[in-house]
Amino acid sequence: MITKPKGTYDLYGEEAKKWQYVNRVVDEIMDRYNYSLIRTPIFENREVFHRGVGDTTDIVTKETYDFVDRGERQMTLRPEGTAGVVRSFIENKMYGDAIQPVKLYYNGTMYRYERPQSGRDRELTQFGVEVLSSSDPAMDAEVISLAVNIFKLLGLKGIKVKLNSLGDTESRNNYREALLEYFKPYLKDLCEDCQERYNKNPLRILDCKVDKDSDILKNAPSILDYLNEESKNRFEDVQNYLDVLDIDYEVDPNIVRGLDYYSHTVFEIEATIKDFGANNVIAAGGRYDNLVSNLGGPDTPGIGFACGIGRLVMALDKEEINIPINNELDAFVLYVNDTEKEYAMALTQDLRLNGLRVETEYMNRALKGQFKQADRLNAKFLVILNSEDLVAGEIQVKDNHTKETTMVKEAEIDDYLDMNCR
């Protein structure tokens, strides 16, 4: 038997309906906030991610699916959404659009070669937003509030934002020098990855999953002590706007995020979720004011976040949040002979085009079996075709809950079902 690759999943049945519901909520909120959908390729030129995400990140050094296509081109399966969106922003010259800032959201599949575990797969689906051209701290607050409000609308409790600032280039460079000096005596005590990060990007040491609980990392200098005046003021403005929007947050100088392109605001969003372990993070993001220029575009500020849908649905399940799934059919059309079958097919199509959820028989079951199938599908009404009734211009309709039967004129069947199913 051929099986699916490790770290991937089949999505169907009730689980698929939960995902559909979450997607509908996401689409609705994005529309309210005036974000437009963008779709980018699942694979891109390798440089998009290796230059964009950063060659010191775990995603690029350990997790990307890289391949050479038949044209000898270096390609990479999309490991995250931001770099591809920025590439599209540059290529399609969105920076020249009359409407600014450019507010986009995506929902798609990503691929990371990591050890599969609960809530982490090699194939994952994320939704996220990217706002380009605005450096306004109020935009940082809007992006954070958008994510928070999606989670609240879905029913999650205890939503909290952990907030930090990495500052501008000057602040970050000063902090980098402080970290190099601080970590130098402890290099031999750090994991091999962190020893390599020391020269490439010492900030990444703070995001280490191996040494995260060590006193070395806990006592490391705080980025907040190295922010210049402009970066401090900006960070205070972000906090003020979050207060205006009534968003619960706490400043956490240990939040650095795992991607090289971040600057200024970075954040993680947590929810109180039972049995989720120590890591209740359900979304994360930040500002990336240098990414567009790094990928060959004009100097353009940007900010965004991403959320894994699989992890989000898992959180909803663990919190036992009722996801409204409609498992009822409006009607099931039953028949006996071939003439009635042709009529059933035409009527089923007509009712569907009229906006009703309708099914008919395709397994050659006898009438008794069709009744059972209608029950399995939770049909509200049974439309029972009979040749003699059809000659008289009538159709028998049975309420499957009250068991009452009504003879409805053939010309009025659409209106009758529509009125009783809405």
As a three-state string, the secondary structure of 65-131 is: CEEECCCCCEEEECCCCHHHHHHHHHHCCHHHCCCCCEEEEEEEEEECCCCCECCECCEEEEEEEEE
Instruction: Check whether 62 has a pLDDT greater than 70.
Output: no
Instruction: Check whether 274 has a pLDDT greater than 90.
Output: no
Report the pLDDT value the prediction gives residue 259, as an integer from 0 to 100: 59
Report the pLDDT value the prediction gives residue 147, as an integer from 0 to 100: 97
Instruction: Check whether 189 has a pLDDT greater than 70.
Output: yes
Longest CA pairwise span in the chain (Å):
95
Q: Once rounded to an integer, what is the mean pLDDT over residues 274-292?
A: 86
Residue 57's pLDDT band, with cuts at 50, 70 and 90, is low
Instruction: Check whether 343 has a pLDDT greater than 90.
Output: yes
- Sequence spans of domains, the chain: 13-168+228-318, 329-421
Instruction: Check whether 135 has a pLDDT greater than 90.
Output: yes
- Comparing 39-53, 364-378, 401-415, which segment has the lowest mean pLDDT? 39-53
Instruction: Check whether 293 has a pLDDT greater than 70.
Output: yes
Q: Once rounded to an integer, what is the mean pLDDT over residues 193-212?
A: 77
The pair of three-digit structure tokens given for residue 211, joined into one six-digit string: 């040494």
- Domains 13-168+228-318 and 329-421 fall in the same CATH topology: no
Report the pLDDT value the prediction gives residue 213, as an integer from 0 to 100: 72
Instruction: Check whether 379 has a pLDDT greater than 90.
Output: yes
- Comparing 113-122, 145-154, 382-391, which segment has the lowest mean pLDDT? 113-122
Instruction: Check whether 141 has a pLDDT greater than 70.
Output: yes
Mention the CATH class of domain 13-168+228-318.
alpha beta
Instruction: Check whether 60 has a pLDDT greater than 70.
Output: no
- Comparing 112-121, 139-148, 214-223, which segment has the lowest mean pLDDT? 112-121
Report the pLDDT value the prediction gives residue 18, as an integer from 0 to 100: 96
DSSP-H helix ranges across 245-333: 291-294, 309-318
Q: Could you give the CA distance from residue 268 to residue 284 in angstroms, rounded to a whole number? A: 4
Instruction: Check whether 126 has a pLDDT greater than 60.
Output: yes
Instruction: Check whether 230 has a pLDDT greater than 70.
Output: yes
Question: Are the CB atoms for 353 and 418 separated by under 8 Å?
Answer: no
Instruction: Check whether 258 has a pLDDT greater than 60.
Output: no
Instruction: Check whether 262 has a pLDDT greater than 90.
Output: no
Residue 257's pLDDT band, with cuts at 50, 70 and 90, is low
Instruction: Check whether 178 has a pLDDT greater than 80.
Output: yes
Q: Once rounded to an integer, what is the mean pLDDT over residues 405-417?
A: 96
Residue 130's pLDDT band, with cuts at 50, 70 and 90, is very high
Query: C-alpha dihedral over 401, 407, 409, 410, to 10 degrees?
Result: 70
Residue 61's pLDDT band, with cuts at 50, 70 and 90, is low
For residue range 148-158, what is the model confidence (pLDDT) as tens digits?
Answer: 999 999 999 98
**Global pTM exceeds 0.75:** yes
Averaged pLDDT score across all residues of the chain: 91
Sheet containing strand 66-68, edge to edge, reads: 43-45, 74-77, 66-68
| CATH of 329-421 among 3.40.50.800, 3.40.1400.10, 3.40.50.720, 3.90.1150.10 | 3.40.50.800
Q: Could you give the CA distance from residue 159 to residue 151 in angstroms, rounded to a whole number? A: 8
Report the pLDDT value the prediction gives residue 119, as an integer from 0 to 100: 65
Other CB atoms within 10 Å distance of the CB of residue 119? 17
The pair of three-digit structure tokens given for residue 106, joined into one six-digit string: 């995506």
Report the pLDDT value the prediction gives residue 55, as an integer from 0 to 100: 56
Report the pLDDT value the prediction gives residue 321, as an integer from 0 to 100: 92
Report the pLDDT value the prediction gives residue 114, as an integer from 0 to 100: 81
Report the pLDDT value the prediction gives residue 52, as an integer from 0 to 100: 60
